[in-house]
Amino acid sequence: LELVHRLRSLQARTATRRQHLWPMSRSTASRQINQIMRTAEISGPQACPQGIRHSFGVAAVNAGVPLTTLAAVLGHSSISTTAIYASAVESEVREQLRRMWQCLRNDD
């Protein structure tokens, strides 16, 4: 119980300074993500930290999250950066509609 109280005290102190309780460097996080991807046998351009971030952004847009909210979550200073995720969704929708139209034309 003593440890829990000390941990909560530490959390309260670090929260006011906007620091993580257990900081992790960007390179350490990247290494760990890459290792998880290899272990899960996930490969391709999405199998990296940036791919995960992009997938999250696209999923958020698909879920209807406003771009302003997504920009804040991702830490973008410009909404035009966040709009990249919306354009990825738009191109995916266009491709799906193209395939659907092709199927309809082939049914004639």
Q: Is the dihedral of CA 101, 105, 107, 108 positive or negative?
A: positive
Query: What are the residue ranges spanned by the domains of the chain?
Result: 1-43, 45-108
pLDDT (tens digit, 9 = 90+) per residue, 26-63?
888 889 988 988 999 988 877 888 888 888 898 899 89
pLDDT (tens digit, 9 = 90+) per residue, 66-78?
999 999 999 999 9
Backbone φ/ψ region at 76: left (φ over 0), alpha (ψ -120 to 50), beta: beta
Answer yes or no: pTM beyond 0.75: no
Q: Which residues contact 25 (CB under 8 A, 6 or more apart)?
A: none
